[in-house]
Amino acid sequence: MPEHCGFDMITGQIGRGGHYSDLKQAITIVITDFNFVPETKRCHTVFRLLEKEEHFPFNDLVEIHVLNLTRLSEDNEDGKLTDWLRFLKAESEEEFKMLAEKNPVIGEAYSKLEVMSQDEANRMLYEARLKAQRDEYARIQYALEEGERTGRLEGERTGRLEAARNALKMGLPVEQIALITGIPSENILKQLK
Please give the model's pTM, rounded to 2 decimal places. Answer: 0.46
pLDDT band at 16 (very low <50, low <70, confident <90, very high): low
pLDDT tens for 76-115 read: 555 777 788 888 788 787 888 888 888 888 888 888 777 7
pLDDT tens for 45-86 read: 888 888 999 988 888 788 888 988 888 765 555 577 778 888
Cα→Cα distances 161→142, 178, 181, 183, Å: 28, 10, 8, 8
Specify the amino acid at residue 132.
Answer: A
CA-to-CA distance for 10 and 49, rounded, in angstroms? 13
CA-to-CA distance for 84 and 100, rounded, in angstroms? 10
Domain ranges of the chain: 1-71, 138-192
